[in-house]
Amino acid sequence: MLYYAPDNASLCVRLALLALEIPFETALVDRSCNAQNGPAYTALNPNGLIPTLITPDGPIYETGAILLWAADQKPSHVFPAVGNPARAAGLAWLFWLSNTLHPTLRMTFYPTKYIDAGSAPLLLTATRANLLGHFAHLEAHADWLDDTQVSISHCYLAPMLRWSALYGTDQSWFDLGKFPRLLAFAKRFEVTHVADQARLAEGLGGTIFSAPTPPCPPEGSAT
């Protein structure tokens, strides 16, 4: 069971489970009433953050951890298995996405969780500059962007490109067109069967990664 909200970090997990062809059901976390902080959800994930995946081993949270757990259920499908020399670089990038790019992006969505409202504009300016540096880093060094086989790092990154274009107080800082390799990746991934299934399930519209529009989900809300 995947606890999700449309166009939330659970989208990364949905994409990976679809790519792995691991059957799953979903349970909506209703953000309109802050259900992520209610007792039923925090009993599963005490951080009060979406997603959580219920597995035979119990609930797992943290997007990167869930992606790795899922990939290890079907070794070599979407991530190098233990023993494969490519796993080292794969892990380095997965953790970079999880401990560098994703938290930085979160700061632009929820600046007042990190600093007082008066200082938020300063934080946003600095954080957006950092993010542009992170995207330039990917553009220059992430050779896995060009892989045609879907990986869990693809499933993690593509929604982050989408959110950069859609969420926060001002999107003028972000122009995917300035990063041709990232743009080509987004265009390639969004026409896969996996992205199409996620798009329909969460009402994400067309060109969901390269030129996204706000979602129109069949249930729940993104924020």
Ligand X SMILES: N[C@@H](CCC(=O)N[C@@H](CS)C(=O)NCC(=O)O)C(=O)O
- The residue (of 38 and 177) whose beta carbon lies closer to ligand X is 38
User: What is the nearest approach in angstroms of ligand X to the Cβ of residue 184?
Assistant: 25
Kindly tell me which of 63 and 210 has the beta carbon lying closer to ligand X: 63
Closest distance of CB 133 from ligand X, Å = 21
Enumerate binding residues for ligand X (CB under 6 A). Answer: 8-9, 36, 48-50, 61-63, 102, 106, 110
Q: Which is nearer to ligand X, 64 or 90 (CB)?
A: 64
Please state the closest distance from residue 50 (CB atom) to ligand X, in A: 4
- State the minimum distance, in angstroms, from the CB of residue 10 to ligand X: 7
- Give residue number: closest CB to ligand X: 63
Count the Cβ atoms, other than its own, within 10 Å of residue 158: 27
Q: How far is the CB of 62 from ligand X (least distance, A)?
A: 5
Q: Which is nearer to ligand X, 106 or 187 (CB)?
A: 106
Pick between residue 157 and residue 188 the one whose CB is nearest to ligand X: 157
Which of 62/139 has CB closer to ligand X? 62
Q: CB 148 → ligand X: shortest distance, Å?
A: 26
Name, in order, each residue with C-beta under 8 angstroms of 64's C-beta and a sequence gap of 6 or more.
Answer: 94, 95, 97, 98, 99, 102, 156
